[in-house]
Chain A
Amino acid sequence: MVCQFCKLKEATVHVTEIADNKVKKVDACAACAKEKNYNDPAAFAIADHLLGLGAAQKMEEASEAVGTLSCDQCGYTQADFKKSGRLGCAHCYDIFSDGLDSVLKTMHKDIRHRGKVPAGMQSALAGAHRLQSLNRDLQVAIAQEDFESAARLRDEIKAFKAAE
């Protein structure tokens, strides 16, 4: 079989794509395949294999939405993720979080951690939650024109911040 692009060399890369219920077959030589980005179908398969079918495509869609991303700390790219199904460093989770959530949904019970929290984080998290809830109460009190409560909450927030 001859390459459908250059029509010169022997086609060695054969890809079957199914998009919108249409089957599209590609038969290309190694050089054209590389040029047209059909070079590494296995790259998709690994992410799919590890993270469930469709994971690679979801990442792809997410990356199209945000453009080409790479981690500014370890240099990991979206393509690296597709190839290995893994991330490069802790910071990657911030960088790739948009695409990641849809992937995580398919493989986990939920996309929020509900397990163990490091002891050092516990008080910090509890503090942040407390502050959030005080602020929320303050907004409610102001909206209801309950200025007595609002004044008390304001003092509490001030004291809390001072204690931090």
Chain B
Amino acid sequence: MSILDFLVPASEACLRSGPHDKIVLSSRVRLARNLRTVPFPSHSKKAERIKAFETLMPAVKSLTLLGEEIFAESMDKLPALDKQVLVERHLISREHAAKNAGSGIVLNREENVCVMVNEEDHLRMQALRPGLQLRQAWMAIDAVDTALQEKVEFAFTERYGFLTACPTNLGTGIRVSAMLHLPGLVLAEQINQIIQAVNKLGLAVRGLYGEGTEALGNVFQVSNQMTLGEPENDIVERINKVLLQIIEHEENARLSQMEKKPAVLLNHIGRAYGVLGNSWSISSKEAMNLISFLRLGVDLGVFGKTPKSLTDELFLRSQPAHLQLAHPLREKLGSDERDLFRAQMLRERTALIPKPDPQALLGKREEGSPE
């Protein structure tokens, strides 16, 4: 079965919801593990990588925890488009998408546990949850890890904990992260302050696709940097606490913008609606930044009963691989063609959204004034 048949459609994937999902798009906990007896993938010969692959793939596939219906495949069997779709769904890293023979992926039916074999480490396994659910994600991946330890022996020392290719992941091998939508803090020009404060707590703030990527569409990723010297639970709880604070700041920023500058907010939201509904060529960068304001409008009730899943779907379907997938020819589109096709998709979808209703923002202030 192709991964494209295995994955639920973008519209369905965006229906997943969780606590605080107006601001927290998703939570993720990733663990890095290595086999004790085989060199790390980055330094191993092809035969050694294959050995690790042949040890780990069956072990992961046989985990009852993942359910019976799983997708498991070697990376060289996946076409480039399929790999890119997996990256856009945040199921694999961009680095893993570049891998071929000797690397693999195992994904469960719910699409919330994904294991990469032979990425930078022999195993990179992650649990994903919609909204703010770091604890749940940690418990899920902890269980997978424990079950795997009954089947294979991981590199571990009492002193350094789980050994990883890069010393930055040493010890727990844990990376706890959440994807945040923070248009309020960006508009209020408070985002840099927040990023600096979060950095001071030893947490990293990155863009949409992790390390070295731009914060497109006001989406930021917050994650821990330190992995050694602290129990996993402490790391999870600390990030959880920081995230709750960021959520509060974002909510306050939105409220104060509504109070003080409703026209500025309406201007951003209205223009986003106008451009997305009427453009004939649009880059992914421009699209994502506008969809961010559309989502903010939905959050603030400017678009009636429009669900946020619709804007999330636009966001996902604006990405290159998802666009190509939706194209009738499924051929590789040039970037100009892509911009045309993206604009078409966005026009059609935005037409389903009612015109912005300013009363949702102004109503409270002008109560009693004539219509």
Within the complex, the shortest CB–CB distance from A123 to chain B, in Å, comes to 13
Residues of chain A within 8 A of B228, CB atoms compared: 104, 108-113
Q: Which of B40, B167, B168 has the most CB of A within 10 A?
A: B167
Select from chain A the residue with minimum beta-carbon distance to B36.
A90
- Quick check: is B225 within 8 A (CB to CB) of the other chain? yes
B138-160 to A contact mask, C-beta < 8 Å, 1/0: 00001001100110011111111
- Quick check: is B163 within 8 A (CB to CB) of the other chain? yes
B259-284 to A contact mask, C-beta < 8 Å, 1/0: 00000000000000000000000000
Residue pair A116, B154 in contact (C-beta under 8 Å): no
- Quick check: is B230 within 8 A (CB to CB) of the other chain? yes
Within the complex, the shortest CB–CB distance from A49 to chain B, in Å, comes to 10
Q: Complex Cα distance A120/B149, Å? A: 9
Chain B interface, number of residues (Cβ within 8 angstroms):
43
Residues of chain B within 8 A of A50, CB atoms compared: 166, 168
Residues of chain B within 8 A of A107, CB atoms compared: 167-168, 225-226
Q: Complex Cα distance A119/B165, Å? A: 23
Within the complex, which residue of B42, B167, B172 is in contact with A100, where a contact is CB–CB below 8 Å?
A: B167
Q: Which of A50, A86, A100 has the most CB of B within 10 A?
A: A86
Residues of chain B within 8 A of A86, CB atoms compared: 40, 42-43, 120, 165-167
Q: Is the interface of A mostly helix, strand, loop or mixed?
A: loop
Select from chain B the residue with minimum beta-carbon distance to A89.
B39
Within the complex, the shortest CB–CB distance from A137 to chain B, in Å, comes to 21
- Quick check: is A39 within 8 A (CB to CB) of the other chain? no
Residue pair B165, A110 in contact (C-beta under 8 Å): no
Select from chain A the residue with minimum beta-carbon distance to B224.
A109
Residue pair A108, B42 in contact (C-beta under 8 Å): no
Q: Complex Cα distance A88/B43, Å? A: 5
Residues of chain B within 8 A of A109, CB atoms compared: 202, 226, 228-230
Given the known inter-chain contacts A104-B167, A113-B229, please indicate yes or no for A84 contacting B42, CB distance below 8 A: yes
Residue pair B230, A114 in contact (C-beta under 8 Å): yes
Within the complex, which residue of B34, B146, B202, B229 is in contact with A90, where a contact is CB–CB below 8 Å?
A: B34
- Quick check: is B38 within 8 A (CB to CB) of the other chain? yes
Residues of chain B within 8 A of A110, CB atoms compared: 228-230
Residue pair B172, A116 in contact (C-beta under 8 Å): yes
- Quick check: is B232 within 8 A (CB to CB) of the other chain? yes
Within the complex, the shortest CB–CB distance from A77 to chain B, in Å, comes to 11
B165-179 to A contact mask, C-beta < 8 Å, 1/0: 111101110100000
Residue pair A121, B161 in contact (C-beta under 8 Å): no
- Quick check: is B221 within 8 A (CB to CB) of the other chain? no
Residues of chain B within 8 A of A103, CB atoms compared: 167
Residues of chain A within 8 A of B174, CB atoms compared: 115
- Quick check: is A118 within 8 A (CB to CB) of the other chain? yes
List of 9 A-B pairs having minimum Cβ-Cβ separation, nearest first: A110-B229, A113-B161, A90-B155, A109-B229, A108-B228, A115-B172, A88-B43, A89-B39, A74-B39
